[in-house]
Amino acid sequence: MPKQGNAKGRLPSISALIPNLYLHLRPTFDGDSPIISAASIFLMNDVHIVPMVTSRPANSSPKLLGQKLQGAFGGFPLLRKIANTAPRDYYELLWTPSREFVVGIGDCKFDDSLDVLLRVFQETNFGYARVDNKGRSVLISLEDLVQLMRKGSLKSDMTASEAGSQVIHISPDASIKEAIDMMISHRVRRLFLDGKDSAFVSDRSIITYMFGGERIYFVRRNPEQWIDAKVTDTNLGAAPTVAATDSISDVAQVFGVQPDACLMTDDGKVVSRWDMVMKPWKAGALVSGAAVSNSESS
């Protein structure tokens, strides 16, 4: 099995794998805009993270690869901010400038190897990065790489079970507040409901509910009760089931495109985009489709 990529890059360049990356239009937001505005951009564009076009975040870590981190707005950081806010201050929180709590995403060059990009993901612990090409930048995500798997440009024979992660369960009667606390303590974006097969509540489904028009109207009148609802009041997701022995390359074909999409293996593990891309890469089991073709023809 090949070793993890080195500085020269074992995998092809980003530009070779996704030559049309700069044609992908991605939303951005102004860091001076309030949370309520940033959340609306986040939800309307059906994305998981939105880069900020003004100053980078105060909590960015200078030790990360010596990178120029760019601020970004995402579901999990927003939930963390809500969890650290007193209920009496919920309505005021909606009008807080977004830049005060965004996270930092890393960057790389368009001609860097995919290994460089994946090291950025690993260092920042986010499946998003900014790609620079002669002064122009664009967002790249793990979903872009899963799309490469769907096309056969990236492959892995690691099984879904080998790549999968432990499922964290929550009671259907749990409150949104309990769900947020569990997500933060377990560092997961999805909680699966007890007795509900593959149904799950995600950070995104919670935010979609909380920032919907009806709930925003509610928080104006009853700020302290903004998150006093059950997880079943949100729009729950459902994870398709795949065989534990299926390869990552095979299950990529049924992986959804929604921001909180995931799969469930028949031996009880959850497979996220991070699992599909990062775990095979770390194990040296992620290869380019061209490399596979050349090996088979030789």
3-class DSSP state for residue 111?
A: coil
Q: What is the pLDDT along the chain (298 residues), one digit of tens a residue?
A: 333 333 356 899 999 999 999 988 788 888 888 988 888 887 777 777 888 876 554 444 445 555 677 888 888 888 888 999 999 999 999 998 888 778 888 999 999 999 999 999 999 888 999 999 988 889 999 999 999 999 999 999 999 999 999 999 999 999 999 999 999 999 999 999 999 879 999 999 999 999 988 888 888 888 888 988 999 999 999 999 999 999 999 999 999 998 899 999 999 999 999 999 999 999 999 999 865 444 333 3
Closest Cα partner for 100 from 50, 165, 156, 52?
A: 52
Please report, for the chain, the start and end positions of each structural domain, with discontinuous segments joined by +. Answer: 14-153, 160-289
Q: What is the pLDDT of residue 60?
A: 47
CATH number for 160-289 (one of 3.10.580.10, 2.60.15.10, 3.40.50.10310, 3.40.190.10): it is 3.10.580.10
Q: What is the pLDDT of residue 3?
A: 37
Q: Which residues contact 174 (CB under 8 A, 6 or more apart)?
A: 182, 230, 231
- The CA distance from 15 to 263, in Å, is 29
Q: Environment class of residue 230 by beta-carbon count within 10 Å: exposed (0-12), middle (13-18) or buried (19+)? A: middle
- What is the residue type of 74? G
CA quadruple 128, 129, 133, 137: dihedral sign: positive
CA quadruple 65, 71, 74, 76: dihedral sign: positive
Number of other CB atoms surrounding residue 12 within 10 Å: 19
Q: What is the pLDDT of residue 290?
A: 66
Conformation bin of residue 92: beta by default, left when phi > 0, alpha when psi is -120 to 50: alpha
Q: Do domains 14-153 and 160-289 have the same CATH topology?
A: yes
Q: Read off the pTM.
A: 0.87
Backbone angles phi, psi at 243, to 5 degrees: -70, 140
Q: What is the pLDDT of residue 66?
A: 57
DSSP state of 244: T
Class of domain 14-153: alpha beta
Q: What is the pLDDT of residue 62?
A: 44
Q: What is the pLDDT of residue 25?
A: 79
